[in-house]
Amino acid sequence: MTLVDDTRDAAVLLGGRSGRASDSHGFWSGRVGRVCTRFGPIALLLASAGLFLGFGLHEAWLDSPTFDEPVYVSAGLTGILHHDLTLNDEHPVLPKVVAALPVLLVHPVVPPNGSWDSNDERTYSAAFLNAQRQAGTLRAVTFSSRLVPLLEAIALAFVLFAIGRGLFGRAAGALAGSLWLLSPFVLGLSHLDSLDVSFALAVGLWSWALLHWLRDPTTRRTIVLGVTTAAAVLTDVTGLILVALAVVTIVATGGRRTLRQSLRQCGLLLLMTWALVWVVYGALDPSVFLDPTVVLPAPYLNGMSYLWRNDTVAGPGYLLGVAWTGGRWWYWPGALSLKTVPTTLLLLVVAPLGWIGLDRSTRRQALLTLVAPALCLLAFTILMPRDIGVRYLLPVLALWLVAASSIVRLARRTLVGVVAVGALPVLAGLAMVSSSPDSLAWVTPPLGPAYRVMTNSDVDWGQGFSRLEAWSAGKDPFVAYFGPRGLSAGSIPHVRPLLDTSPSRIRGWVAVSATDLTSAESARLAWLRAYCPVGQLGESILLYYFDRPPSAHPGPEEPAGYCGPGDKGVSVRTTTLPHG
């Protein structure tokens, strides 16, 4: 891509004309055009990052700890303070440790324990959470643990910009980065301490390093590729897929290099990856060197074994009124469609059109750095029988956005194309703003409410506990809450358990997490799906009121819609609000 093509693309994204400014435009017109062409894409990306960060910080402060966060925070802190890498059964440990660093600044309460290498993550994370509640530090600890994931999401936007610029021009890179940041789906996950955004960043960096290596396969760039590969392996076990892809790419693209040279580069990459994994684990816990397993540190291998035992067990799934147990391949495209802004989804669908007319070299590089890793990660995810959240596709979405941003090349040819491409970030930004402060529960508006079409981390990951606690005061409700260990309905004064109560004994207020209603406790709460809720808390907790005991007869798999605002009345069966 030449500089002329690069600047023309940037001008198109900003709505300006392509090519050189005509003499009739005059000196100032030409200067303004050059300034916009040069700085416009970065300005768009910076504006998107500022908007994203503002809303992300707001939601990070409001939302309660979600299902896995107390485990990750406590595991990160024990790794830093006590050099214990065995608390959390899941590995790798790097993103948890990095996210826990800002937590140290708010002085969290770390419950004492005499045997740090024999803790149970279930009991200790609950003890850790309760210690923060008693000390009044829970909100500060939770908020500070979410700062790194927010910054990682922003960093990934600039990585996508760099990849897109290298392949398709500055305007394409800016489009990919801005659409990543202006996604309610991405905002909903990025303001939480989860591993998904961290791995997406690692995959983006790996793709960027591979692109540079393909253009100039020097030893220095092989080392950089090895570092990014190690980062992926240290972030998620599926990073091992990228190790295999990197090796295959080096050998398959040997070209003029001899087989010996290619094998030497493969060896260097594998050595870098292997050494860095051991260095990071050894720095956190030197005892790993006392029980060497040669291939990978023992805690890492034990974590892989744990994930294999648990993630290959069929779990409950739910989408668009259909419930099942196990994996369904159609869940992933269906769920991603519901969680993606419609105009952005349209761009992803028409992405192949943007590759028309690409030169052979660019197409080859894009296939190796974008399409190949995205398809491999997608295939691995689809094969897992746990359809509990489309968040596992975040790396795939990031690479897909870059591949789709090539459409800028075609859009610049017509005024309609220019307007359409320019509208994409605007419409995505409006969707993101409208999703706040409940971005995690956002779905494409015509298909809501969210609790009727999706479940688990796509809608309700336990983020509504503080709202539930405030709402419950003076109501003595029956409650079923889905959330992290240590936070339960039983810790709220005067709350009665819903799951252990017969419907014939229920009168008054009922609150239930959307995840419990449609998946986690779907069998025990089947009767409640026949009734329409009269309200909701953060789009993740549903509220009901029964002036007489409900029937125990099971309802359909799809919960009833909200009661009408006028009669508070009937969807399938009656549930009414109290007078006054």
Other beta carbons within 10 angstroms of residue 81's beta carbon come to 13
Q: pTM of the full predicted structure? A: 0.91
Query: What are the two backbone dihedrals, phi and then psi, of residue 502, each rounded to the nearest 5 degrees?
Result: -70, 140
Which pLDDT belongs to residue 25? Answer: 41
Cα 440 to Cα 491: distance, rounded to the nearest angstrom: 24
Which pLDDT belongs to residue 36? Answer: 60
Provide CB contacts within 8 A for 351, sequence distance 6+.
400, 403, 404, 406, 407
- The confidence band for 566, taking pLDDT boundaries of 50, 70 and 90, is very low
The per-residue pLDDT for range 100-135, each reduced to its tens digit, is: 999 999 999 998 765 655 667 888 899 999 999 999
**Sign of torsion, CA 462 463 466 469?**
negative
Confirm if 293 and 253 have CB atoms less than 8 A apart.
no
Q: In the predicted model, is pLDDT for residue 205 greater than 80? A: yes
Q: In the predicted model, is pLDDT for residue 570 greater than 50? A: no
The per-residue pLDDT for range 337-356, each reduced to its tens digit, is: 999 999 999 999 999 999 99
Confirm if 265 and 217 have CB atoms less than 8 A apart.
yes
Q: In the predicted model, is pLDDT for residue 33 greater than 60? A: no
Residue of higher predicted confidence among 209 and 445: 209
- The confidence band for 87, taking pLDDT boundaries of 50, 70 and 90, is confident
- The confidence band for 19, taking pLDDT boundaries of 50, 70 and 90, is very low
Cα 219 to Cα 42: distance, rounded to the nearest angstrom: 31
What is the share, in percent, of the chain residues with pLDDT greater than 70? 89
- The confidence band for 553, taking pLDDT boundaries of 50, 70 and 90, is very high
List the single range of 153-157, 242-246, 447-451, 479-483 with lowest mean pLDDT: 447-451
Q: Kindly report the average pLDDT of the chain as a whole number.
A: 89
Which pLDDT belongs to residue 21? Answer: 37
Q: In the predicted model, is pLDDT for residue 543 greater than 90? A: yes
Q: In the predicted model, is pLDDT for residue 256 greater than 90? A: no
HSE (side-chain half, CA atoms, 13 Å) at 364 = 8
Which pLDDT belongs to residue 11? Answer: 46
Cα 266 to Cα 260: distance, rounded to the nearest angstrom: 10
List the single range of 23-27, 129-133, 302-306 with lowest mean pLDDT: 23-27
- The confidence band for 63, taking pLDDT boundaries of 50, 70 and 90, is very high
Mean pLDDT of 499-505: 94
Cα 525 to Cα 503: distance, rounded to the nearest angstrom: 10
Mean pLDDT of 13-21: 41
Which pLDDT belongs to residue 542? Answer: 97
- The confidence band for 306, taking pLDDT boundaries of 50, 70 and 90, is confident
Which pLDDT belongs to residue 138? Answer: 96
Confirm if 539 and 438 have CB atoms less than 8 A apart.
yes
Q: In the predicted model, is pLDDT for residue 531 greater than 90? A: yes
The per-residue pLDDT for range 354-412, each reduced to its tens digit, is: 999 899 999 999 999 999 999 999 999 999 888 999 999 999 999 999 999 999 988 88
The per-residue pLDDT for range 507-526, each reduced to its tens digit, is: 999 999 999 999 999 999 99
- The confidence band for 28, taking pLDDT boundaries of 50, 70 and 90, is very low
DSSP secondary structure string, 278-306?
HHHHHHH-GGGGGS--SSS-HHHHHHHHH
Could you list the beta-strand ranges (E) of 97-244. Answer: none
Cα 418 to Cα 410: distance, rounded to the nearest angstrom: 9
Look at strands 496-497 and 478-480 and give their pairing: parallel
Which pLDDT belongs to residue 578? Answer: 54
List the single range of 408-412, 494-498, 539-543 with lowest mean pLDDT: 408-412
Confirm if 10 and 40 have CB atoms less than 8 A apart.
yes
**Sign of torsion, CA 246 252 255 256?**
positive
* HEC per residue, 99-112: HHCHHHHHCCCCCC
What is the share, in percent, of the chain residues with pLDDT greater than 90? 75
Q: In the predicted model, is pLDDT for residue 139 greater than 70? A: yes
Does a cis peptide bond (omega within 30 degrees of 0) precede residue 437? yes
- The confidence band for 255, taking pLDDT boundaries of 50, 70 and 90, is low
Secondary structure (3-state) at 322 = strand
Tokens 């309760």 map to which residue? 130
Q: In the predicted model, is pLDDT for residue 29 greater than 70? A: no
Mean pLDDT of 198-220: 97
Q: In the predicted model, is pLDDT for residue 567 greater than 60? A: no
- The confidence band for 314, taking pLDDT boundaries of 50, 70 and 90, is confident
Contacts within 8 Å (CB) and 24+ apart, 211-216:
211/163, 211/166, 211/167, 211/365, 211/369, 212/166, 214/249, 214/253, 214/365, 214/368, 214/369, 215/365
Which pLDDT belongs to residue 22? Answer: 39
- Write down the H helix ranges in 115-146: 121-135, 138-145
